[in-house]
Amino acid sequence: MTVKSIIKTSEYHDSVSLMLVAKELVKFPGVQDASVVMGTESNKALLEQSGLLTKEIKTATPNDLMISVKTDGNPDEALAEAEKLLNKKAAAGDALEFRPKTIRSAMKTLPDANICIISIAGRYAAEEAWEALFAGMHVLLFSDNVSKEDELALKKYGRDHGLLVMGPGAGTAILNGVALAFANVIPAGPVGIVSAAGTGLQETSTLLAKNGIGITQGIGTGGGDVKKEIGGIMYIEGLKALQADPATKVILMVSKLPDEEVEKTLLEQVAKSSKPTVICLIGGKTRSDKVPANVTVVSTLEEGALVAAKLAGAKMGDIKAKIASETREAAALAKQLKATLKPGQKQLRALFSGGTLCYESEVIWRDNFDMEIYSNAPLDKHFKMKDSTRSEGNVAVDLGEEEFTVGRPHPMIDNDLRMRRILQEAADPSVAVIMLDVVIGYGAHPDPATELTKAIRKAMALAKAAKRELIFVASVTGTEQDPQGLTRTTEILQAAGVHVMKSNAMASRLAGFIVA
């Protein structure tokens, strides 16, 4: 086994293209492991961990490309293959039309551009966001690691100039029916959503669609917006725009519990409109005693979406009663399923791709099941996992957290990590239930159900071989109109024996009833 590497100086590629190259490279005869990454310190640390860091590439700068292979075969051939793969990508790009190098020149080719999606490394992102704002574009800032000072300055400018600054860390928006970044195909309708939680926007908008209700806009501000330092600037601007928008009849506001001062400002702004407004404070209760009359406050994404759907004219009875009745059905199903388990099988392992969905589930398990649930993103830091890569007890892991996504695509795009984790959990004889969120739509993997069920079938077989049954529970965040299709995705999961519930909240309850 040899490890060999080369530096390609001043050669920049985006991380996803590089990952695709690395993935191809591992298929090359003899190659055990390979890495094709930019020479950042964090990437070097990753290489060191996997034994791919050689003396030669320690000197690489962040503008250099590092290629490293571990192989039984000829390392030079493998490195040559890497270069070939990189060039192949470049050539494919060259065949297309000329690509602008700057936002200004992009505006020359597309003078009416009104949205700029920025997903470059965080330390460069603010500068480019300024360029986009000065060019008069609204900004969807997908990049993380933008400083609070920059975020604040950008958002103040946006506020003063009538421009949205969604993010940093904003992965979802639906504007004028167009799904931006990670978002679903939602029919047009009367509900306007403003959300400070990315998958929260996906879950509520798809739940509306599942209940026959469409949306006007889905504005995702990024989770940092409602924190104290930012003061909810864009959340409030988004809300104002929906209040002023004649097409928006019902407003749905989604957020984790915001800073108390921010909440107060929000409620003041809500009170300025008579439009029916649903405030979904995931896992929290309002601290205000002056909730305006047009406002309903709820604590789960599911309830928020259902109340908004009803306000928008969906034919449904009392929402609380509806949820209660479905919960009873889930409890009955849980009872049946529980009967198949061995006595030692007691634990829940929930493996999430969506951070907000993980959060919502934790809230349900805490509030409705009084469960102690460990997580890498816990509600209470007392329940922080010691090691996110190894589960003990009841666990909810957010695999979309940064610790898992550095140098690797998000689990909504690439299922590898979650598939490996499914098999890891399946090997643990104490596990009763594995729960998954399956997020489809634009931006997500083209067929996550087919990928995940490969691992699910293997996991079930593994358990069976050990004379156990393993229960899989899931929900699908998506719509019929999504490229992957809601029914199609659901059926693929069901065919593999997965119990697919209507919402993440209901899936959490089913899982809760099984292990509680």
SS (H, E, C) 55-81: CHHHHCCCCCEEEEEEECCCHHHHHHH
Question: Whose CA is closest to 354, among 417, 436, 280?
Answer: 436
Residue 245: CB minimum distance to other proteins, A: 5
Q: Which stretch binds other proteins (CB under 8 A): 155-163, 198-206, 346-354, 424-432?
A: 155-163
Candidate list 5, 28, 69, 142; residue touching other proteins; CB under 8 A: 142
Structural tokens at position 62: 């962040």
Structural tokens at position 442: 């634009």
By the rule CB under 8 A, 176 interacts with other proteins: yes
Q: Between residue 415 and residue 444, which ones bind other proteins under the rule CB under 8 A? A: 442-443
Closer by beta carbon to other proteins, 237 or else 303: 237
- Reduced DSSP (H G I as helix, E B as strand, rest coil) percent helix, strand, coil of the chain, to 5: 45, 20, 35
Alpha helices in 135-224 (DSSP H): 148-160, 198-210
Provide the 10 A C-beta neighbour count for residue 151.
Answer: 25
Question: Which residue's entry shows tokens 């292990």?
Answer: 515
Q: Which stretch binds other proteins (CB under 8 A): 93-101, 312-320, 452-460, 465-473?
A: 93-101
Provide the 10 A C-beta neighbour count for residue 41.
Answer: 9
Residue 133: CB minimum distance to other proteins, A: 11
By the rule CB under 8 A, 180 interacts with other proteins: yes
CB-count exposure of residue 379 (10 Å: 0-12, 13-18, 19+): middle
By the rule CB under 8 A, 127 interacts with other proteins: yes
Q: Between residue 464 and residue 493, which ones bind other proteins under the rule CB under 8 A? A: 483
By the rule CB under 8 A, 164 interacts with other proteins: yes
Instruction: Report how many residues bind other proteins under the rule CB under 8 A.
Output: 67
Candidate list 108, 290, 382, 467; residue touching other proteins; CB under 8 A: 108
Structural tokens at position 25: 């490279």
By the rule CB under 8 A, 216 interacts with other proteins: yes
By the rule CB under 8 A, 271 interacts with other proteins: no
Cα–Cα distance for residue pair 215/235, rounded to 1 Å: 17
The secondary structure of residue 364, as a DSSP letter, is: H
Candidate list 33, 77, 83, 128; residue touching other proteins; CB under 8 A: 128
Q: Between residue 48 and residue 77, which ones bind other proteins under the rule CB under 8 A? A: 62-63
Structural tokens at position 161: 């100039």
Closer by beta carbon to other proteins, 143 or else 394: 143
Residue 213: CB minimum distance to other proteins, A: 18
By the rule CB under 8 A, 99 interacts with other proteins: yes
3-class DSSP state for residue 228? coil
3-class DSSP state for residue 120? coil
Give φ, ψ of 441 to 5 degrees. 110, -175
Question: Which residue's entry shows tokens 């098999």?
Answer: 423
Candidate list 245, 428, 447, 469; residue touching other proteins; CB under 8 A: 245
Candidate list 86, 179, 201, 305; residue touching other proteins; CB under 8 A: 179
Q: Which helix H or strand E contains 329, and what residues bound it?
A: helix 319-338
Closer by beta carbon to other proteins, 232 or else 378: 232
Give the CA dihedral 454, 506, 491, 447, nearest 10 degrees. Answer: -50
Q: Between residue 323 and residue 382, which ones bind other proteins under the rule CB under 8 A? A: none
By the rule CB under 8 A, 14 interacts with other proteins: yes
By the rule CB under 8 A, 188 interacts with other proteins: no
Candidate list 102, 147, 389, 487; residue touching other proteins; CB under 8 A: 102
Provide the 10 A C-beta neighbour count for residue 50.
Answer: 13
Question: Which residue's entry shows tokens 């009833």?
Answer: 513
Q: How many residues does the chain have?
A: 516
By the rule CB under 8 A, 214 interacts with other proteins: no
Candidate list 3, 26, 46, 121; residue touching other proteins; CB under 8 A: 121
By the rule CB under 8 A, 272 interacts with other proteins: no
Residue 161: CB minimum distance to other proteins, A: 6
Structural tokens at position 341: 């388990």
Which residues neighbour 327 within 8 Å (Cβ) at sequence distance 6 or greater? 506, 509
Residue 471: CB minimum distance to other proteins, A: 33
The secondary structure of residue 223, as a DSSP letter, is: G
Closer by beta carbon to other proteins, 16 or else 80: 16
By the rule CB under 8 A, 244 interacts with other proteins: yes
Provide the 10 A C-beta neighbour count for residue 185.
Answer: 20
By the rule CB under 8 A, 153 interacts with other proteins: no
Contact 25, 36 (CB under 8 A): yes
Candidate list 57, 117, 226, 511; residue touching other proteins; CB under 8 A: 117
Residue 400: CB minimum distance to other proteins, A: 15
Residues in touch with other proteins (CB under 8 A)? 12, 14-17, 62-63, 93, 98-110, 112-121, 124, 127-128, 130-132, 134, 136-138, 142-143, 161-164, 175-176, 178-181, 216-217, 237-238, 240-242, 244-245, 247, 413, 442-443, 483
